[in-house]
Structure 1
Amino acid sequence: MARKQLPALPQYRQDAVTRRLCAATHLDEGFAHEVHEEFTADRMTAVGLPLGVNLLALVRHAGAAVRRTEARDRRLAWLFGGLVAAVLLVLYGLTAGPSPAGTVGGCGILVVFGTAWWLVYTAERQARDAAQEVFRTGAKAEDLAPPAPQGAEKRLLEMKKANVVPYTASAERTNPFVGSGKKIKEVVWQPIDVSRPAEAPGGGKLTIKDFDAVDLHTYVAREMANIAGLEGLRARNRLYVLGTHVPHLGKDLLPDPLGRPLAQIPKQLVQAGLLNPGAGMRTYLSLERVGDGGRVIVSMHLRARLQHPSLSWEVAAYGIPPVSGAFGRVDGLPIDGFERWWSLVRCANGQTWPALRGAPGRNHRRGAANNRRARDLERLRRDISKRHVAHDYGAVDSIRERVASWDQLGHSDRMDSQDFLHRLQQGVLIATERFLKDHNVDTSSFDQAQQVINTQTYNFSGDITGPSNFGNNGQISAAYGQGGQQPSGAPGQAP
C-alpha cells in the first residue's frame, strides 16, 4: 500500500542514549572511571547485557576522559609540590630578613597558580569540546575517541551477540535476567494440548509432525519481527546460568577458572538448556525492543515448556526507563561565543584551587584503589586455585540499568512500551498457532487458552499482579545498581 507523501518531522537519533552517555564520561569524572574500570580492568565476573548502548563507543570515550583527568592530576600534583616549596621560600624570606628567597617564592606562587589555572581551563575545555562533538555531530560515536585496549574491544564486540548470561546467585530470587531492568510481569500461560492431530481436508486425521522446544523457539525467533510489526526487534536464544554454576560448563564458558566467563558459547549448549535444563541453567528466547532513540527498552523472555501432551509458555516481561536527568549537563553547556569562553573562565576560577589542593590526594586514592583491587583479586584467585573456594561469576546488573530513572518516564514512553508488550504477546500467540498448524496439531485447545491469555495486561510502572514490586502510590521502586544508590550522571532527552 502506497504511503502518503508528508513532511518528515524531527526524529530521535537511534544512538541518542549512547551519545549522551559518551558525553557524560567527559563531563563526569566519577562516571568515566566507573565505566573504564568495569569494562577494561581485570575482573572475574560477567557484565550485564548492553541493551540499547554501543559499549565500544562508551568505553572508548571513558578511556579518553580518564586519561585526560589523570594527566591533569599528575601535573597538578607536581605543581602542588612546587607551591609548597614556594611558600617555604616566602616564609624563609619573611623570617630571615630581606632576601631574594622571598621574591623568588612569591614569583613561584604566581607561576604555580597561573599554570594550574591554565591546566584546569584546558582540561575543562577539552572535556566540553569532546562532549559537544560526540553529542551534536553526525560522525560515528566510536570514531571520535581512540581505541580501547585490544582485549577489551574484542570482549565488547562479542557481547553484541552474547548467547549466554551468567547472573549472580542473589538475582535468582528476584531477577535472573540481569541487565533487562525491572520486572513488569511474570506468568506461565495456560497449557495447550498438542497431542491431538488436526482434521484432514478430506476427512480423517493428519499425522502430527515431530517437533521439540528448539524447533518452536527457532520458528518464533525467525517470524516474530514480521508478525508483531516491530521494526528493529531483536530475538536471540540465550542460556542463563547461575553465577556459582559457571565452572560446571567447563572451558566452553570459562576457559580459565581465574578469569572471566565468555559471552558466546557453542549453540548446542544453548539448545541443551532448552531441552534438558541443567542445575541453574535454562535457555530463554529473549525478544528485545529498543524505543525511539534508545529512551525505553522493553524485553520479553520466553521459555517453551513442552512436556507431552501439553505445551505452555513461561513469560517474563521487563523494562528499562529513560536515562536519568542527572546526565543532562551537556544540554546546558554554551556552544560558542563569549558565553562559552566566560563559562570556561568561571569554571577554571572556581576549580583551580580545589583541583590543585586535592590532586595529590586523588592520585594517592586512585593508586590505592587499584592496588586494593589487585590484592583482592590475587587473594580470590589464590583461594580458588589452592582452597577450591566456590566463586560467583555472575553479573549483578548492567550499565544501562544503573543510569536509568523512572522519574524520566513520560506518557509517550508508557504508551509505546505497553503497545510493544501487547504486540510481543500477540506475536508469540500467532507464531505459536502457525507453528502448530504447520505441524498438523489440532489448535482447538490453543483457541481456548488464547482467550484466557489475551486477558493479560501490562503496566509499564510495574507488575500489576505482584505488589512486591510496588512502592508509594503504586509506583515501582527505582533502585540503582548493586546498592540501590542513584548514579552520579547521565542524559535524559535525545539530541
Structure 2
Amino acid sequence: MTTTQVRAPVGSVQGDVTRYLCAAAYLDEKFADRVVEEVLADEISAVAPSPDVDLEAVARHCLAAREIRYPRDLKLAGAFGVVALFAPLWLLFVAFLASAVGQADRQRTLGARGRRQPDERALLRVGFQAGWIVLVAFMLVAMFSQLHLNSILSWLFGMYMFGVPAVLASVGAALYASMTMMRYDLATDELLRTSLSREAFACPALPLVPRRDWIKDRLAAIRQAQDGNVTVYSGYTPFMGFANAHSSWRLAVPLLPAERPAGVPRPDAPTPFSVAELVDHVRDRLGAAVERDGAPGTGDAGASGSLLIEDRVFADGATIGDDERFMSIYALAPVMRLSSDAVHEIILNPTGTVRHYLAVHLPLWGGDVVPSVFLHFSTVGDTLHLQCSNHVLGPVVADYHLVDRLRDPLTPERRREVLIEALSRTGTTLFGAPFRALDHARFERRQAKRMEHELAAMKQDPMYDLGARVSIREMALSSTYHNYFQVIDAERITSSVQLHTLAIIRKFLDSRGFDTTDFRSQQQTIVNQGIIQQGGTSIVGNQAVGTGASATQNSAGHSDMAPASSE
C-alpha cells in the first residue's frame, strides 16, 4: 500500500467502515457479487472476521443490492433484445450514443481543488449532442441502404426498408435504457442519502433478504464468525481478514536462573511457569495499562473502549475435518468460537496446524485503519519463544466514501450530476445486462448444484478445505492511504503495543527469578532498529541475512522504500 494523495472523505466515527462497505454494495456491483458468490454462497467454508466490521450487515446489503439491480437488468436486457432482433450490429451504435451523450458535459474547468457539479444548461447540451448523433446516423443509413446486400448482411447492418426500423429500434432502445439507468441511479442516490449517511446509520435498519433457509443459516454463520475467536484459513497465511503482515519479529530467550554478583548468596531456583500463565499475565497487564493510561500510543483513556485484546485461534481449514473441536452437528461451516478450556489446551500444546495468538486491535479513523499485533508464546525445553506479527488493515476504496459527500435533500445540481453519470454508464451496463439477468435467475439452481458437488467432495476427500479463501474487509482494501496521518497513527499503535509487551514480559521473567540479560539485549535491538522475520530471514535495520533475502525498514511516511538484497 502506498501513501499517494487521495481526495476522499475520511472515517472519523466508530462504525464508519461498516457503513462504507454497505454503501459499496450499491456503488460497486463487482464487490456485491463477490460477497454473495464467494462468501455467502460458499456455505461450507469458514468466514474470515475482521475487527470493527459488521459482516452480517454488509452481506445483507449486498443481497439487497442484487435484488434491486435485477429488475433494472431485466429492462435493459429487453432493450438489448429489441435491437438484436431488428439489427444486431446497431447495438454498437446504441452503446456509442449513450457513451457520447454521457461525455457531452465533461467540460474543462479551472478548478483543481474540488468537484464542480453540472450547471443548468448541462441537460440541454446532452440533448443537443444526442440529436445530432441520431441525425448523422439516419443520414448514413439512408445513404448506405442503397447498397445491394444479401438478406443476412442487410439484417445485421439494419439496411432493409431504408434503415428506418433499425434507427427507430436503436434510438428507442437507447432512450429506454437511458431512462432506466437514470431512474435506477436516482433511487440508489436516495437510498445512500437517507439510509447510509452517518446520521441515519446510527440507528440502522437491516435490509430484507430473500427468505430462504440456506441464506438464513449462512447469515447466522457470518454472525457467529464476527463474534467468535477462531479464524479457519485456507492456504499458507493464517491472518485472513487482518491484511498481510506489515512487519514481524521473533525472540528466543533461554530460561536460565538469574545471576548474582560474587559474594551474594545464590537465590532460590526460578519459579516455573506455563505458557498459559504468561499469556494471562500479558493480557491482564495490557488491559490494566489501557484502563490506567488509555490505549497504547494514544494517551487517550476514551480510546480504550475501542481497543480489543482477544485470544484468537488460527486453524488450517484442510486439516480440521476430523477435529471435533471445530465441527458442529448443527451447521456445515466450522465452529468459530471455542470454549476457554479448549483455547487453554491449544495454548499449552502449540503444535500442528492449530495455534493460539494473543491479538491486540485498535480501530482508528472510524475503523478505516486497524493496526493489529499478534503475539504467539511457546516454550521448547528451557527456551521461551515469542513471535510478534504486526498487521494494518488500510482504508477501503475511496469511491466507497462517496456517501459522505451526499447531502439531503437532493439538490438540482446533484440531480443533474447523477443523470449525466447514469448516461455515461448506460452503454457498458446495457451490454452486460442479459448475462447478469440470466445469472441472477439461475442463482438458486446453480447454488443447489454447487452444494451437491461440495457435499460429495467433503465426504470423499479427507483433506477437504474448510478454510476461508477471501475476506470481505480485504476485498475492499484501497491501494493507497487517504491521509498521511493514517500511516503515522497505525505505526505508533503497533510500536507502542510491542514496547508495552516487551516490558511486561521482562518484568514477568525478573519476578520469577530468570536471567533477562539476553532478553534485554534483544529487546534493545528491537527498540533501536527493529527486527523483521520473513521466511526465515533475519533483518536488522536495513540489512538482510540469508540467501536471496530482502529487507525493508519501516519508518513513518516511508513505507515504499526500495528493498536491499543480500546474495
The match for 2:242 is 180
Native 8 Å contact 2:234 2:465 kept in 1: yes
Residues 469-480 of structure 1 correspond to what in structure 2 (within 5 A)? 475=560
Distance 1:449 1:83 in 2: 73
The match for 2:45 is 45
The match for 2:33 is 33
Instruction: Give the letter aligned to residue 379 of structure 1.
Output: H
**Structure ID, larger Rg:** 2
Distance 1:469 1:162 in 2: 35
Paired residue for 1:227, among 289, 293, 308?
A: 289
Paired residue for 2:435, among 358, 361, 367?
A: 361
The match for 1:12 is 12
Instruction: Give the letter aligned to residue 17 of structure 2.
Output: V
The match for 1:150 is 216
Residues 230-249 of structure 1 correspond to what in structure 2 (within 5 A)? 230=295, 231=304, 232-249=306-323
Distance 1:468 1:180 in 2: 23
Instruction: Give the letter aligned to residue 433 of structure 2.
Output: A
Distance change >3 Å, CA 153–CA 116, structure 1 → 2: same
Native 8 Å contact 1:198 1:442 kept in 2: no
1:378 counterpart = 2:452:
yes
Aligned residues: 448
Instruction: Please state how far the C-alpha of 1:83 moved relative to its aligned partner.
Output: 7.8
Partner SS for 2:286: helix
1:215 counterpart = 2:277:
yes
Residues 57-206 of structure 1 correspond to what in structure 2 (within 5 A)? 57-77=57-77, 118-140=179-201, 143-148=204-209, 149-169=215-235, 171=236, 175-193=237-255, 195=257, 205=267
Native 8 Å contact 1:195 1:308 kept in 2: no
Distance 1:362 1:153 in 2: 24
Native 8 Å contact 1:258 1:384 kept in 2: no
Distance 1:214 1:56 in 2: 33
Alignment deviations for residues 445-472 of structure 1 (CA, whole Å, 9 cap, x no partner): 654553344335389xxx866665879x
Distance change >3 Å, CA 275–CA 77, structure 1 → 2: same
Partner SS for 1:43: coil
Distance 2:231 2:56 in 1: 19
Instruction: Please state how far the C-alpha of 1:137 moved relative to its aligned partner.
Output: 3.6
Native 8 Å contact 2:243 2:474 kept in 1: yes
Partner SS for 2:379: strand
Identity in percent: 23
Instruction: Please state how far the C-alpha of 1:428 moved relative to its aligned partner.
Output: 0.8
Distance change >3 Å, CA 129–CA 192, structure 1 → 2: farther
Instruction: Please state how far the C-alpha of 1:245 moved relative to its aligned partner.
Output: 0.6
Distance 1:143 1:248 in 2: 40
Native 8 Å contact 1:158 1:264 kept in 2: yes
Give the TM-score normalised by the residue count of structure 1: 0.75
Instruction: Please state how far the C-alpha of 1:420 moved relative to its aligned partner.
Output: 0.8
Moved more, 422-431 or 367-376: 367-376
Distance change >3 Å, CA 349–CA 414, structure 1 → 2: closer
The match for 1:482 is none
Alignment deviations for residues 201-252 of structure 1 (CA, whole Å, 9 cap, x no partner): x9874675553111211221232144364123211112211121121312x3
Give the TM-score normalised by the residue count of structure 2: 0.67
Instruction: Please state how far the C-alpha of 1:413 moved relative to its aligned partner.
Output: 1.9
The match for 2:528 is 455
Instruction: Give the letter aligned to residue 362 of structure 1.
Output: R
Residues 475-486 of structure 1 correspond to what in structure 2 (within 5 A)? 475=560
Native 8 Å contact 2:47 2:222 kept in 1: no
Distance change >3 Å, CA 65–CA 197, structure 1 → 2: farther
The match for 1:493 is none
Native 8 Å contact 1:239 1:284 kept in 2: yes
